[in-house]
Every structure is written in C-alpha cells, then in structure tokens.
Amino acid sequence: MTLTQQLELIIRKTATELWPEIKIPPFDVVAPPSNEFGDLSTALSLTLAKILTKPPLEIANQIKAKFDQQPLTYIKEVTITQPGYINFILDYPALSKHLINKILTQKQAYGGSPEEKGKIIVEHTAINPNKAAHVGHLRNACLGDSVANLLRAEGWQVEVQNYIDDTGAQVADIVVALENLLDQQGSEPFDYFCWTIYAKIQKMYDVDEKLKDRRKEVLWLLEEGNNPTATAATQIANKIVNQHLATFARLNIAYNLLVWERDIIDVGLWPSVFADLKQKKLIHQPHRGEHKGAWVVEFGTTERENKILVKSDGVATYTAKDLAYQLWKFGLLPLDFTYYIRALQWNGEPLLTTPGGTYGITDLETAQRNFNQPDRVVNVIDLRQSYPQEVIKETLDKLGYKKAAANSVHLKYQVVKLSLGAVKELGVKPETDKEEYAMSGREGIGVKIDDLMDKVEEKIAQINPQLFASAVQTLAAATIRYYMLRNRATKEIIFDFDEALKTDGNTGVYLQYAYARCCNILNKVADWQPLANHPDLPATTSIETHQLIKLVEDYPRVLELAADELDPSLLTDFGFTLASAFSKFYEKNPVLSADDDTKNFRLHLVATVKQVLANLLSNLGIIPLEKI
C-alpha cells in the first residue's frame, strides 16, 4: 500500500470517527498545484462543508487535531491552507531510507501484490488463419499480452488464450484461392502469398458465380468436418498459425492455450448450447421476413437488433460459436478438449493446443490443463464487435448464468491506421495524399507486422550502428509495443515512424534510454554495492530528488490501478513521467562527482529508479536494455 493509499484510509477513518452520522464521500489525496503547500493534499473538508454545513477551515482543523494527537508515519508536518485544504509534508529522510531498502530488497516483486486474487482468462489476438498478420492486429495482441502481465503482477492467476477460427469464411476464401491460384506462388513466405491471393479471390468472386458457389460449398464442408476439404483447411490454418506465432514472438508475445474452432464443433460445445437455448425458448425460428429459416436470439427493442445464431442454411454464426466458447471458458459446459503441447515458446513456456493445432507435429505429447472455473473472462476484441459481445453477455444472463455474465469483460479498442509518411516509408503506394490510411485485408491494403518490424529495425540500426542485432530487435519491439499501448484503448492510433522513434518524448525508446542511463551510471562504480552501506538523505536535497522519491513510492498504486482498469496506458504515462523526472535529476544532481555520502545516497536512488523502470517495462512486455 502506497503512502497516498494509507493517507486516504487514515483520513476516511478519522472523518468517520468525527462524524459517524454521515457517509464520507469519495475524495482524493493528490499533489497540490504548488510545492509551497506541501507534497500531498486533500480537499475533503470542502466537500464535507456542504454536508455538515460548517466552514471548511473548521472541518480541516478538526481532522488535523486528530493527526496531531497521533503522528502519521513518513509525514513530517500537517498544515491547513485556505479555504480548507489539508496538506502533508513528507519526512523524506525516513521515507527514502524505507523505500530504498524495500525496492532493492523486493527487486522484481516491487509494485505487485503478494495476495492471490483468483483466476482470469484473457483471450486476445484471434486472427483469422488465412494470411499474414497486419498492423491492425497488432494492437489487440500488445494490449492483451500487457493486460495479462499487469493482472499477474497484481496476484491473479492468468491463462492467455488465442482463438483460432479455422472453419470460418476467411479460411474458406483461402481454400478457394489456393485451389485456383496455387501456381502463382513464388519464393515469398506462405502467409505473404496467402495475403496476395486472398485479395485476388475477392475480385474474382465479382465476375465468377461458380467461384462464389464453391465458396459456399467449402464453408459447408468446413462446418461438416471429416472430409478432404476440411483436412486441407486444417493444414493451411496450421501453416499460417505457425507464422503468426513467429511474428508475435518478435514482439515478446506468448500464449498459454490455442483453442481451435474445429474442436469446438467436434466436441459438441455449440449443439449443447443450442439445445439449451431451444429448451428455454430463448431463440426462435421466424417463418417470414429477412430472418426466415434462421435461428435468432432476441436482443434490443426492434427485430432488426435481433442476432442470428444459426443461418437458414444450418451454419452456425461466429456469435453462436463465441457464445459456446464463453460458456466453456467459465467451465459451465460438461464437455472438454484433449490438450497437447504444441511447442516451447520464445520464453521457454509450453504452448498448449486443442487437437486442431497438432498438424505436422511429430512426437505429440498430451498435456494437463490445470485451469478451470475462472472468476473473470476478458475478451480483447475491437470496438466494432461491441454488439455481438453484448448479445453474448445478455444471453448468458438469460440462460441463468448471471455471475458469468457479470464477469464477462469486453476490452474494447479502436483501430490502428497509418500516417501518410508511414505508408510511403513502407513502400505502399497511396491512392491519394490522405493524412491517414485504414487497413483492409480483403482489399489487400495494409502493412504486415513483419514488414513493420523489419523497417523499424532498419531505422534503429541506422541511428545506432554500434548496436548488436539482438539489441536492435529488442529496441524495435519496445518501440512498437509502447506505441500501441501509450494511448487509451478507445482512442484511434495513427502509426508514424518519426513519432515512434523519438528519443525525447513519450516513447519506448525514451524509457529504454532512461533505463540504460541508470545502468551506465551504476556500471561506472564497480566496487559499489547497494545496501552495503545504508544511505542517509543528505541535509540539503533538491526538488528533483524529492520528485523521484515520490514517484517510485507511488508506482505500486499506479500498477494496481492499471490492472484494475485493464489499461496499460496508465503505466506508460507513469513511465514517461518517471523517465522525465530522472532526466531532470541527472542534469541538476551530479552523482559520481558528489561527496562520498551524497554519492552513496544518489547511487541508491539511481538503483531504485532502475529497478522500478525495469519492473514497469517488463509489465508492459518490454525487455529492458542495459546498453544502447
């Protein structure tokens, strides 16, 4: 618990003791607008004045009197300023000694929660296995992976799932495309070739009705299973997924389980749910109108808002399968899969898969999945899918699974677009000089993630030719991941190379430079060991020193808030603030040339900043670089 959180508890407890007849309203303890008022402040007295009909100064003095009777830990003085603010001046010598010891002792654990809070499934990525992954998919994977990291840091047991839709329309398209265009394959990677022919087949449908009929036939065969076409689709999907996994590994993204749609069908998850929906009369089959012959779940207030679960040709929709999948995630269906170890990932962790993901794997090994009945399920899906996610949540509630419905979380995010400069940099010829470009795999418009990574690595190598290849790759991943995370999820991203690669702004590169600078300072004093000679705060300390102490102390609160809100951008904001504060400290407070006692203290402070930056970067899914 941070000092701010402790003060909030103490202030609430004190106010409740003074005025037990009222409910204390929400309030904050924050930094005041000027340092002359203290280090922290609260305006609770102003809010209470309206409830108690008393002057806020009188209320503030009553609360302060309680504090004067029992001094607060790490608080040097409590003051009151007009019109009733309660201000707190920190005891920096005591606080800094406590913090330095705590951070350098806890190391990687600092900031997180030791409390075991339960289980959460995070599902993210979920790209159709029909072509190369593009930048539009990247935000989903970076967001989901980072959210999983935050939740683990806060004491949650997390299983990360990646849903593989290997029986959908996009896979049917690529099957038809390969049947007709396979002879056009050159030396390019298979997922790149599929990217090209996927766009081509869309145009061919417009002029060839037989191809459209074949598409319908293939889609039905995929749904049916146990036929040569379905087997071919499984092989294609596995090849594409292999390349997707390799692509995302370049960005330090890993998973615990791949769930294949083919297996959801084969195990019978949807038929079980379908029967339950019919038995409870939650779906109906219209005999006329635009939904004639389909099975529909009622949603909203108009017929047009109703959602088709099974089309008139008998094929279950995405929403139907997602509903069954959501019920399975919560452990609410009496059916399960057989699990296999598909591979060891870049982080050394095994990747489990349901049977659909075992094609081409020799020496298959079955595995035990020790994760069931989670407390929450977080689905990372873009904002445009809000309607089907709401349908699923409401249907769960109508089926009687109210707890599961309440704990089904749709983590929404906006799309990623490219700036005109980025489009030109990547060699994509823009149709017009628009300022931003949306991506469309159907039209073949977009930038593949591997191409983006290659370009960022190329630019970093040009800027830093002394870097080893591994460091270039790490810095490129940091650049892209941070750029995908620094905005609120519901805000659109316009990716631009110049903006992403800045070394003096809110970028992954800037944070990496701050961390590397900490390492560089500490590496210059090889004989110095942290905590060997416990530091005392110098008699005279700077505002920059105080600011760093306050920030590293506040890190656990920010991490907790980011996990609770499922919002990594709160952590990027904090990281930028900390890196900026460290830069100011370094400019105005010499470390290595200071007198021995001051030098020892400042080295300890640098070591604590280094540790907090390392923890923060790791929770964002970024590998800290000691040297740039």
* 244 and 349, same domain (yes or no): yes
pLDDT at position 530 is 92
pLDDT band at 539; cut points 50, 70, 90: confident
**How many angstroms separate the CA atoms of 368 and 325, rounded?**
19
In a domain, residue 140? The reply is: no
Start-to-end Cα distance in the chain: 34
Among the three residues 449, 467, 501, which one is the final residue of a domain in this structure?
A: 501
* 73 and 33, same domain (yes or no): yes
**How many angstroms separate the CA atoms of 288 and 99, rounded?**
70
> Percent of the chain beyond pLDDT 90?
83
* 26 and 173, same domain (yes or no): no
Indicate whether 426 pLDDT > 80.
no
pLDDT at position 476 is 95
Tokens of 131: 């072509």
Rg from Cα positions in the chain: 28
pLDDT at position 110 is 98
* 345 and 392, same domain (yes or no): yes
**How many angstroms separate the CA atoms of 598 and 620, rounded?**
33
* 365 and 468, same domain (yes or no): no
CATH number at residue 24: 3.30.1360.70
Tokens of 93: 């010598």
Indicate whether 442 pLDDT > 80.
no
CATH number at residue 102: 1.10.730.10
pLDDT at position 124 is 98
Helix (H, G, I), strand (E, B) or coil at 322: helix
Domains contained in the chain, number = 4
DSSP 623: P
CB 558 within 8 A of CB 619: no
In a domain, residue 381? The reply is: no
* pTM across the whole model: 0.94
CATH number at residue 257: 3.40.50.620
pLDDT band at 497; cut points 50, 70, 90: confident
In a domain, residue 318? The reply is: yes
* 362 and 423, same domain (yes or no): no
Tokens of 427: 């060699």
In a domain, residue 626? The reply is: no
**How many angstroms separate the CA atoms of 255 and 345, rounded?**
8
pLDDT tens-digit map of 102-134: 999 999 999 999 999 999 999 999 999 999 999
Highest mean pLDDT, choosing among 69-78, 129-138, 381-390, 607-616: 607-616
* 272 and 392, same domain (yes or no): yes
In a domain, residue 149? The reply is: no
pLDDT band at 427; cut points 50, 70, 90: confident
Among the three residues 482, 501, 520, which one is the final residue of a domain in this structure?
A: 501
Tokens of 517: 């600078």
* 614 and 526, same domain (yes or no): yes
Cβ-count burial 135-144 (b if 16+ within 10 Å, e if not): bbbbbbbbbb
Cβ neighbors of 529 (< 8 A, separation 6 or more) are none
**How many angstroms separate the CA atoms of 472 and 468, rounded?**
6
User: DSSP string spanning 45-64?
Assistant: HHHHHHHHTS-HHHHHHHHH
Helix (H, G, I), strand (E, B) or coil at 254: coil
Pick the closest to residue 475 from 254, 578, 626 (CA basis): 626
CB 145 within 8 A of CB 124: yes
Quickly count: other Cβ atoms within 10 Å of residue 166's Cβ. Answer: 26
Beta pairing, strands 493-495 & 416-419: parallel
* 46 and 190, same domain (yes or no): no
pLDDT at position 91 is 96
Cis before 83? omega within 30: yes
Helix (H, G, I), strand (E, B) or coil at 375: coil
* 471 and 614, same domain (yes or no): no
Residues spanned by the domain of 23: 3-90
pLDDT at position 99 is 97
Helix (H, G, I), strand (E, B) or coil at 307: strand
Q: What is the mean pLDDT of residues 212-225?
A: 94
Q: How does the average pLDDT of the chain come out, rounded? A: 93
Indicate whether 437 pLDDT > 80.
no
* 246 and 326, same domain (yes or no): yes
Indicate whether 441 pLDDT > 80.
no
* 169 and 218, same domain (yes or no): yes
Among the three residues 441, 475, 501, which one is the final residue of a domain in this structure?
A: 501
Cβ neighbors of 9 (< 8 A, separation 6 or more) are 1
Indicate whether 444 pLDDT > 60.
no
In a domain, residue 199? The reply is: yes
pLDDT tens-digit map of 446-481: 789 999 999 999 999 999 999 999 999 999 999 999
pLDDT band at 255; cut points 50, 70, 90: very high
pLDDT at position 440 is 62
In a domain, residue 379? The reply is: no
Cα angle 343, 142, 485; round to 5: 160
In a domain, residue 396? The reply is: yes
Indicate whether 443 pLDDT > 60.
no
Indicate whether 431 pLDDT > 70.
no
Cα angle 620, 621, 624; round to 5: 95
Q: What is the mean pLDDT of residues 8-19?
A: 97
